[in-house]
Structure 1
Amino acid sequence: MKRILIFQTAFIGDLVLVSSLIKSVAKTYSEAEVFLVCKKGYEAIYEGFQYLKGVIPYDKKGIRGFASKLKSIKFDAVFSPHRSHRTATLLFLSGIPLRVGFDTAGFSFLYTRRVKYRRNVHEVERNIQLLLAVNKAARVDLQPELFVSKDEVGKVREKFSLEFPFAVISPGSVWPTKRWLPEYFASVGKYLIEERGLVPVIVGSAADIPVAEKVFRQIPFAVNTAGKTNLRELMALIAGSSVVITNDSSPTHFASAFKKPVVTMFGPTVKEFGFYPLGEKAKVAEIPLYCRPCGIHGGKRCREGHFKCMRDLTPEKVFPLIDEVLKDGDFAEKRGVGS
């Protein structure tokens, strides 16, 4: 095969996790050019990624025109973790001869190879099944990976005057029930300062500014970058951090991709969905409850009206997990930061 396409236009976290499939495809077909289609606005995530020949952004407006664009590139195969009807239709119209997708995808009959969607395994392992269905001898690499340079890390540290080791705190989420309480994040921020000597750096998008401000106002010496960074700067902050404390959202997967210690709060969601943080220094903070899980994405409000999955997950339950992922005390670690 000369040209291979990976198609993933879902959320940022899904896009980060597809990096392991990209790597595995590139290593298996070392002579091929590998391309990625992602949602427009997210293409910066894969800047400098050595396993990709190119990234093609898609704004999800129109199908035939974009399918024609893909057809002109003459791909030999496409692997599609994305399971929408639109994706299956678009790839069918693109005329790519080998189209590999999941059997649970919308219009899955339009794929030439349908792969059983495995539940209760991590997303990266699920995605790799697409490749193994075509090549049982594939060179599999399950570790998510992204790239930022030392220069990018240095610039973002300079931008926010980060002279000391720091921890990233990510209190936001698109789904309100996925958000750990702001006062709990603040308690963790104080713990990181007092017990670990780490400056808490709060991150988030423009939409996360209100919750980030609530956390920031309660932590002395914290730095609030919410709404002040682009995707590359957010990645650089995570790559340069000593530890990441986050909700079940994309910073979890960025931390995995940069092999950073991470503690992730799980409330309405559970690890069995397959989106937990990966790595030797990755921990999930959660408590058992009769009502968990209540949905794959959480929701706008607690269905039971008590929100115990987050309220009862107190900071005192999280402190030991932070100590565990930081037990070696190596705050100067730079794994995941390129040259």
Structure 2
Amino acid sequence: MKVDTMRWVDHYVGVPLCLLLKLAFWPFDWIRKGQETVSSNVLFIELSEMGSAILADPSMRWLKGQGKTLHFVIFEKNAVSLHLLNTVDRDNICLIKPDNLFSLALSSLKFLIWCRKKKIDTVIDLELFSRFTAILTRLSGAGNRTGFDRVHEEGLYRGNHLTHPVMYNPHRHISRNFMTLVKASQNAPHQPYQKDGFDETIELARAEVNSDLRSSVVTKLKSLYSDFKPGIQRLVLVNPNASDLLPQRRWMKDRYVDVIQSLLAEYSDILVVITGAPAERPEAEMLRQQVDHERCLNTAGAFEFRELVPLYSISELMLSNDSGPPHFASVTELKTFVIFGPETPALYGALGNSTPIYAGLPCSPCVSAGNHRKTSCVDNQCLKVIESGQVLDALRPALDTGLIVKAD
């Protein structure tokens, strides 16, 4: 289904369903009020954002350290993001298929059966005010249900099905909001103002690099550029893409052309690698043709997802729009430079070795939990005011540090 269709269904179908479920379960909730449920089999729900699965990993590892068995439900196309760190066993991952309403309903029904087989007793809903995930949480059969609560906010209604409601804090990084949910899930039911904070530095685990896959990556690069010399020639990754969830995140292609051409002219030891999914290959090819340089490669669709960590491990840096790849790269040591516009790095910045490039206009960020990350802006000045020179000024110090040869 298209993103806007999913938003429409979530609102106009989800809100009345949440209300009906609230009324239907009211007698049972009243009888069980005050009863505590042991938390041992914990389910995380995060369907639509691959990057969020990475941002939630420190919270999941903390809970795993408490002796809990972790489970996860996610949209089928996003499941690969969970395999980067393998915090959750693959047998404990359930997939939802949102291709159409029929597949969505069928896979959701299978999910409810799966929850009973896995004896899920605790659900942590990581989604920001999704009615669909609220319904999944309610029907999961879990006695402990934790998620974000609107408290006194108008709108964002999703039925009050939580035993452990937590106020979403829009002034703290989303990874810390996730940690707050996890901590709340292990306490007795309380008011939404969670007091048990997490002051420690949140750090991501590092992914293991498979040597065979790294060799495969090098072989593919040599097939595209025969003169590639690993260890001598430095790789600069460029991700000019962003998901259809928020296309306003895409920096202008002509600015990418300017930056790439300038870097290739200044640094004779770099190879620019344009990355992306198979569906993004035509646009990546247009960008490569505009750059028109033998040391600029189009690899969109060339690498499998499992080859990304090996690719990142042999690369110098990445320039990217605000999208999934900087979060995937954060499980490695790769330096990333991320261009932000309608969202803010204060809430959604990658946890790794990442530098945000952000104008911070008065209208930014224009997307939030309260508007389902949808904006009507058709003139994204928040990105247009970021000039090529500003991005080059951010990249040059990182490239000069590992400089081997600089062009005249």
TM-score, normalised via structure 2 length: 0.71
The range that moved more, 55-64 or 258-267, is: 55-64
Higher RCO (Cα < 8 Å, 6 or more apart): 1
Q: Deviations over 1:66-104 (max 9, x none)?
A: 112111111232222123212121222121121111114
> What is the CA–CA distance in structure 2 between the aligned matches of 1:227 and 1:311, rounded to whole Å?
28
Whichever residue aligns with residue 115 of structure 1, its letter is: V
Secondary structure of 1:159's aligned partner: helix
Secondary structure of 2:63's aligned partner: helix
**1:118-129 alignment to 2 at 5 Å?**
118-129=169-180
Residue of structure 2 in register with 1:74 after alignment: 119
1:85 maps to which of 131, 136, 139: 131
> What is the CA–CA distance in structure 2 between the aligned matches of 1:36 and 1:142, rounded to whole Å?
21
Residue of structure 2 in register with 1:116 after alignment: 167
Residue of structure 2 in register with 1:132 after alignment: 183
The question of whether the paired residues in 1 share the 8 Å contact of 2:341 and 2:360 is answered with no
Q: Deviations over 1:235-274 (max 9, x none)?
A: 44334321110011111212223232111112233334x1
**1:8-87 alignment to 2 at 5 Å?**
8-27=46-65, 29=66, 31-47=67-83, 49-54=85-90, 55-60=93-98, 61-62=104-105, 63-82=108-127, 83-87=129-133
Distance 1:290 1:84, change over 3 A: closer
Whichever residue aligns with residue 391 of structure 2, its letter is: V
The question of whether the paired residues in 1 share the 8 Å contact of 2:179 and 2:198 is answered with no
Residue of structure 1 in register with 2:207 after alignment: 147
Distance 1:176 1:32, change over 3 A: closer
Distance 1:49 1:310, change over 3 A: closer
2:274 maps to which of 202, 211, 219: 202
Distance 1:118 1:110, change over 3 A: same
Q: Deviations over 1:9-42 (max 9, x none)?
A: 1222222222222222112x1x332222221122
TM-score, normalised via structure 1 length: 0.84
Residue of structure 2 in register with 1:314 after alignment: 387
> What is the CA–CA distance in structure 1 between the aligned matches of 2:199 and 2:248, rounded to whole Å?
39
What's the CA shift for 1:327? Answer: 5.8
Residue of structure 2 in register with 1:302 after alignment: 378
RMSD: 2.8
Residue of structure 2 in register with 1:270 after alignment: 344
What's the CA shift for 1:294? Answer: 3.4
The question of whether the paired residues in 1 share the 8 Å contact of 2:272 and 2:296 is answered with yes
The question of whether the paired residues in 2 share the 8 Å contact of 1:91 and 1:99 is answered with yes
The range that moved more, 115-124 or 77-86, is: 77-86
TM superposition outliers: structure 1 runs of 4+ over 6 Å: 137-141
Distance 1:315 1:137, change over 3 A: closer
Distance 1:49 1:267, change over 3 A: closer
> What is the CA–CA distance in structure 2 between the aligned matches of 1:194 and 1:230, rounded to whole Å?
30
What's the CA shift for 1:222? Answer: 1.0
Unaligned runs of 5+ in 1: 332-339
Distance 1:195 1:158, change over 3 A: same
Distance 1:326 1:285, change over 3 A: same
The range that moved more, 138-147 or 73-82, is: 138-147
Distance 1:80 1:327, change over 3 A: farther
Residue of structure 1 in register with 2:219 after alignment: 158
Secondary structure of 2:77's aligned partner: coil
How many pairs were matched up? 324
Q: Percent identity?
A: 22
Unaligned runs of 5+ in 2: 1-38, 99-103, 151-155, 188-195, 223-227
The question of whether the paired residues in 1 share the 8 Å contact of 2:42 and 2:69 is answered with yes
Secondary structure of 2:283's aligned partner: helix
Residue of structure 2 in register with 1:193 after alignment: 264
Q: Deviations over 1:104-137 (max 9, x none)?
A: 4752511211111010221111111111223559
**1:163-178 alignment to 2 at 5 Å?**
163=229, 164-173=233-242, 174=244, 175-178=246-249
The question of whether the paired residues in 2 share the 8 Å contact of 1:103 and 1:116 is answered with yes
The question of whether the paired residues in 1 share the 8 Å contact of 2:180 and 2:197 is answered with no
> What is the CA–CA distance in structure 2 between the aligned matches of 1:107 and 1:288, rounded to whole Å?
31
1:216 maps to which of 263, 282, 288: 288
The range that moved more, 139-148 or 154-163, is: 139-148
The question of whether the paired residues in 1 share the 8 Å contact of 2:236 and 2:273 is answered with yes
The range that moved more, 317-326 or 34-43, is: 317-326
Whichever residue aligns with residue 320 of structure 1, its letter is: D
Whichever residue aligns with residue 79 of structure 2, its letter is: E
Residue of structure 2 in register with 1:336 after alignment: none
Whichever residue aligns with residue 256 of structure 1, its letter is: S
Q: Higher helix share goes to which structure?
A: 2
Whichever residue aligns with residue 293 of structure 1, its letter is: P
Bigger Rg over Cα: 2
